[in-house]
Structure 1
């Protein structure tokens, strides 16, 4: 199936450029403060008791918080476009996971729409029982009003939400402050424990959990946000914190003010009968505002998920939903699909609701369980995506959001899975089978992957399978890792090269150490090579070097180097950086430049040259200091800056400061500042007058640095005069300097990936 990137722009073309408050905080808060607050919190409190209800709130809020932190980490590490959580997951775990979870997310949000509309209708027929025969008509009427606003566009819906927020704020104050006069310690103590006969808290958790699922409402608006990488974390965390605080206050006041039996039997009516100053109609207006705004938020989000699936063209026939209407690219075709899903559910629930039933057997409770399951699995996959992105340790994982660790994502994924299976085992198994089926089908269809067998053990099969799959995945600079081959003559005496290679890789790449032994006329070199290789492996074990050593014995160095560069790889894993020391003997300068040109030009590898190294210059523990980068071009600067960033990840270098020295114009300085901001790497920029000789200013500025990177551009093997000049300058100017690395980049490392 042909999939084009051009569609990616389609979903993001137009947009409303909403800010944090209007685009994320408002829809998320209104979605959280929905049906459950008015219609079911008192029921859960009366059944579970104060202590257990706080536990239910804490568990639900912790799952949502973990998922919010995972979303924040992903959203601040990549460019965010339309599609919300689907877009984020598909860009982290790939199209196969993206397809399966995208459909799950679409269904969960579509089901949440009638769930909340039912709450609005239920509050009306509870207040005026004579309306109950018209319950189906009420459902359809409210659904039609919401569909009208969504059809008109997201800007209309956002404007309506501001009015809803004002009404909701007044309503919350009315029903929270009203019963305070009835608060008594005796009633509070009587409501501490669960009601008689209540054994399991799981069904009550399923009823309450939709209260904290509204965090996705703001994420769904990703394509309409001005700065999604800022608005999504800030707005979602603020909305979740505000909502949890309000739920806690509500639970505390209700536990001390209402009798248990009334909370179980009439959870909504006791809010209206105890409203402040008798303003029961404001409670009714509030529940209407809360439930309908939540339904409105999901009705805005679900079509955008389907549209994003259509843009990526991941399923047969789904491409029809990619096209939007108007300058803001409104997903009208996807809205029609959502309406077609919502209408039958509203009719079915409306027919059930025509006859009065107790709270426990209400259609609202039946749907809350289904909505909870779908959202739990959606959240689980989001947390898995964040875990994969973080624990995968790509150097490109540099989220602006710092309050995230992969253990948070693990907790979120495990908690969601356990909660889902406790709510309904067989429905959860069915959901996993469906999601897994979609994953494997789309994986086969989109990526056409093959699978290795396990005849020689699990570990061998996984390694084989991954190595076979890796060449089939598209190459992207985002997945660049430092795969370094260290050319070393005497490893025991030049351990600094290996130590710096380990520092630059930070466990992100694969390191190899290659000793070339030049032995002319040697015919029987097998025993020599075996003995030397055994000694290198022992050296690596003693010094705890995580490197792969190898030995090459050849009559000439040039022949050995040619052989190594051609064959030293397990395709597609091959060294992309060749690291070696600078030749200090004059007679080796000319062949050195020949080798360097061959490495860069003939074999398209980058090169790292330690210009003034020795065992004494191996990396040490620092309490601060600077890492200096002498920027010559974007190609070389990208590689150097990524390596410097990796150095800062080491616990002994975390306090170091990156300094970029730029001998260029103010316009170029501005461009590089913008590039560093996009790359999420903080650094100081020092601009030096253009035309200044590098060897003149280098010792003056970088004499006290801890580490220096210099882009090396003059390595033409044919220019013998330039070779002599470079050798002289390096030997003289860098002799007493901190460790200096000369860098030649092949352009594979992209700072903006």
Structure 2
């Protein structure tokens, strides 16, 4: 079993040495500055520092272990010292202090003593070998248990023979420290002439020689004396206590005779040799540990350790030596090898395991800076992968075998150190294997995201927030100049408003458009937007775009923001508050909306941003969130309302959905309300929602929403069918009002659900056609633009009718049928039968209906109509005037427009 312990320890040391050699031969920063430098530059600063501190603790414990072992050798030579109470603590602490004083003198002192130590260790080992081979064979000694070299004795000792309370792991924890010196070459890498070659040849040679030496010792000791003698001394088990302490010579004079009877020529030189060997190893540990601590402190990852990074005039880490001395003296008060060895073993095994992990990660990730010898040859790559993987598994196996509790304790300690470093948030200027791992995971995930389907199925808002900085817009987030497109909006308030929708668990990309800005303004804005995103806990990215105008910069951002499946699917921006008289900027804004829609982006426009409860104005709102659903974009409206309702600002509001329908009777309105409530309940959205139906007699009130809706519905159905995504209609949120009747109305009516049967008895929310229009409203300024809306709609309707006839002719020609053009043209909705002397009045009338119900609402959400034309500045201004007309007298408005292609499924 002792041979199995040695082989298992050797496997861990061999695999770790292979990784150490690879890291040392890679070149660059990872092969400089010792094991900690290698770990931190390959695993990253946080993981490297946490493992480095554990490694430092291991070195301190190893120095204490060797010091306590030296005290045992001293007591072997002078047994009377054992009569002093607490002699382990007294002599061990004193020896630790003396050795650290030597270390204080500088590394040159330790180096000069190195040759002497090597000679003494070699002579001591030789004394044991010779003593075993010339061990006495007399009958008297044989009775005591020493048989001399004998095959039968070896055969009798091959099997395990543990005393009570001792197991394989207990002994392994004491055997494993024999292979803890493999990092000595790395610790001296800065003074080696050829570090890669010296570390590789020296370390492999050292562990190979150690393996054969320890194996030979185990076999020879097993062949020279009986098991009972080796465990308990010449007087057997009755005079024995714990066998490990007796073998080390603690509180048992008889046990010390094992060395005295076997060693040649005399026991006193052997005792001196054991003492000096232990002292030399302890001195090496106390030399390395302070320098390791100084390296960790110099990286400035832990503020509390920063004072230890100072070195004296001789370039010696005097402060780190002092801290190591105090810590080592405190640890020496344990005074028990059985307690020190397991913790020491764990600390080194954690370091070995993570060194193997770093080599494995760097090889698998093919990091460009990872260039060890032979890495570009397949057999070497396989060797690095295999050896590092076996090293990790073997290290973890030894840890668990030694003690499950100690394993958990040390790993928890390393994890706590990592979390503390992460919490402190110190920045480092080097990358890591973990960063490379995250990069590869992210790249694989991005490549795996199918952008087209990801945008449509299980839709979530991935929002591009656009706002202007410059030309009078306050880049600090305050109010802008009254001449700015975003005046009095507080440009960063857009980000804060989006923060209230973050329950959508989507991504946010904030793009600040700096108009003719300099480098200082760009840097300041980039820092400011990152700060706001951190304050609002927004997940996403931020950047600044420099452009000569807001529209041009915003178009850049819409085209280039995001990557792969993580491109934004929505755009959030502020509605210009002072566009009247600035037709060029109004045209720029409308064309931006058109461009975003054409690129597959949904639109979210915040109107009257200065009234929104964000930033310093953020207080819990009461009242209602009114969702005005006019023909289309219903699912988008409902989902955005749900996201807002999850935030504490809007949580106290009740959602009220107002369905705007044309020429519907009581049966149709009740059907719409019932089906919508069932869908919301099935999707677990908007609890206790109030649903109202507003029935219109005059189609002209919402003609911008209806003139081309039939063709849009057909196109949407064809596009969704082409995706082959396999969703069920009843499992999706409705997009249009027509979706509320699918599967409910007869087949004939499903073809044209908006043309519902009339009923003489209408709902209370029905708007009578005879109610006079309030002539006192001041609409004269916008009447011309609103009249232009009607004219453009009529032109567009005529164009759509001609297009529908062409499509119908083409379809019937291909099928061999005669052409039958519907009498109503492409639009199956009821045309307006009322002649209006002023075509702007229907739109004003629609505003009065909206304001009557929602003037005092906490928030009004409303879908925007499609943009009918951007050919001239007047066409763009007409669109702006129409949206302003609908939302006049409303304090807080969120205007939305979906692409019509989003699918909101449930499971």
> TM-score, normalised on structure 2?
0.42
Q: Counterpart of 1:151?
A: 104
Pick one of 217, 242, 246 that aligns with 2:184. Answer: 217
How far did residue 434 of structure 1 move? 2.2
Pick one of 138, 151, 154 that aligns with 1:188. Answer: 154
Question: How far, CA to CA, are the matches of 1:110 and 1:375 in structure 2?
Answer: 11
How far did residue 573 of structure 1 move? 12
Question: How far, CA to CA, are the matches of 1:113 and 1:197 in structure 2?
Answer: 28
How far did residue 398 of structure 1 move? 1.5
Establish whether residue 410 from structure 1 lines up as the match of residue 389 from structure 2.
Answer: yes
Establish whether residue 396 from structure 1 lines up as the match of residue 364 from structure 2.
Answer: no
Aligned residues of 2:310 and 2:317 also touching (Cα < 8 A) = yes
How far did residue 371 of structure 1 move? 0.6
Aligned residues of 1:262 and 1:270 also touching (Cα < 8 A) = no
Establish whether residue 306 from structure 1 lines up as the match of residue 255 from structure 2.
Answer: no
Q: Deviations over 1:468-501 (max 9, x none)?
A: 9xxxxxxxxxxxxxxxxxxxxxxxxxxxxxxxxx
Aligned residues of 1:84 and 1:220 also touching (Cα < 8 A) = yes
* Secondary structure at the counterpart of residue 155 of structure 1: helix
How far did residue 231 of structure 1 move? 2.1
Aligned residues of 2:169 and 2:403 also touching (Cα < 8 A) = no
Q: Over aligned residues, Cα RMSD in angstroms?
A: 3.2
Q: Counterpart of 1:570?
A: 563
How far did residue 213 of structure 1 move? 1.0
Aligned residues of 1:99 and 1:309 also touching (Cα < 8 A) = yes
Where do residues 270-289 of structure 1 align in structure 2 (5 Å cutoff)? 272-275=259-262, 277-289=264-276
Q: Deviations over 1:363-400 (max 9, x none)?
A: 11211111111111111111111111111112332213
Q: Which one has the bigger helix percentage?
A: 1
Q: Deviations over 1:118-156 (max 9, x none)?
A: 000011113322112144332233223311221111121
Pick one of 377, 380, 402 that aligns with 1:423. Answer: 402
- Larger of the two Rg values belongs to structure: 2
Establish whether residue 322 from structure 1 lines up as the match of residue 309 from structure 2.
Answer: yes
Task: Name structure 2 gaps, 5 residues minimum.
Answer: 135-147, 234-246, 249-255, 429-437, 448-555, 568-907
Q: Counterpart of 1:139?
A: 92
* 1:421 to 1:461, Cα distance in 2 relative to 1, 3 A: same
Aligned residues of 1:72 and 1:401 also touching (Cα < 8 A) = no
* 1:410 to 1:148, Cα distance in 2 relative to 1, 3 A: same
* 1:54 to 1:460, Cα distance in 2 relative to 1, 3 A: closer
* Secondary structure at the counterpart of residue 333 of structure 2: helix
How far did residue 274 of structure 1 move? 3.5
Aligned residues of 1:271 and 1:283 also touching (Cα < 8 A) = no
How far did residue 279 of structure 1 move? 2.3
Aligned residues of 2:128 and 2:263 also touching (Cα < 8 A) = yes
Question: How far, CA to CA, are the matches of 1:443 and 1:154 in structure 2?
Answer: 34
Q: Counterpart of 1:100?
A: 50
Pick one of 306, 319, 328 that aligns with 1:342. Answer: 328
* Secondary structure at the counterpart of residue 192 of structure 1: coil
Pick one of 58, 62, 65 that aligns with 2:11. Answer: 62
Q: Counterpart of 1:127?
A: 77
* Secondary structure at the counterpart of residue 194 of structure 1: coil
Establish whether residue 162 from structure 1 lines up as the match of residue 107 from structure 2.
Answer: no
Pick one of 185, 201, 207 that aligns with 1:234. Answer: 201
* 1:89 to 1:401, Cα distance in 2 relative to 1, 3 A: farther
* Secondary structure at the counterpart of residue 87 of structure 1: helix
Task: Name structure 1 gaps, 5 residues minimum.
Answer: 1-51, 350-362, 450-458, 469-562, 575-753
- The worse-fitting range, judged by mean Cα deviation, of 425-434 and 394-403 is 394-403
Question: How far, CA to CA, are the matches of 1:220 and 1:57 in structure 2?
Answer: 24
Establish whether residue 53 from structure 1 lines up as the match of residue 12 from structure 2.
Answer: no
Q: Counterpart of 2:124?
A: 171
Q: Deviations over 1:315-360 (max 9, x none)?
A: 0132222222235x211111111101011222342xxxxxxxxxxx
Q: Counterpart of 1:251?
A: 218
* 1:158 to 1:391, Cα distance in 2 relative to 1, 3 A: same
Q: Deviations over 1:661-720 (max 9, x none)?
A: xxxxxxxxxxxxxxxxxxxxxxxxxxxxxxxxxxxxxxxxxxxxxxxxxxxxxxxxxxxx
Pick one of 62, 71, 77 that aligns with 2:20. Answer: 71
Structure 1 stretches of 4+ moved >4 Å: 80-83, 196-199, 401-404, 459-462, 464-468, 566-569, 571-574
> TM-score, normalised on structure 1?
0.50
Q: Deviations over 1:580-611 (max 9, x none)?
A: xxxxxxxxxxxxxxxxxxxxxxxxxxxxxxxx
* Secondary structure at the counterpart of residue 397 of structure 1: coil
* 1:382 to 1:70, Cα distance in 2 relative to 1, 3 A: same
Between 1 and 2, higher relative CO (CA 8 Å, sep ≥ 6) is seen in 1
* 1:568 to 1:153, Cα distance in 2 relative to 1, 3 A: same
Q: Counterpart of 1:452?
A: none
Q: Counterpart of 1:734?
A: none
Question: How far, CA to CA, are the matches of 1:465 and 1:300 in structure 2?
Answer: 46
* 1:91 to 1:273, Cα distance in 2 relative to 1, 3 A: same
Question: How far, CA to CA, are the matches of 1:461 and 1:229 in structure 2?
Answer: 29
* 1:112 to 1:437, Cα distance in 2 relative to 1, 3 A: same
Question: How far, CA to CA, are the matches of 2:297 and 2:59 in structure 1?
Answer: 17
* Secondary structure at the counterpart of residue 278 of structure 1: coil
Question: How far, CA to CA, are the matches of 1:261 and 1:63 in structure 2?
Answer: 31
* Secondary structure at the counterpart of residue 395 of structure 1: coil
Q: Counterpart of 2:623?
A: none
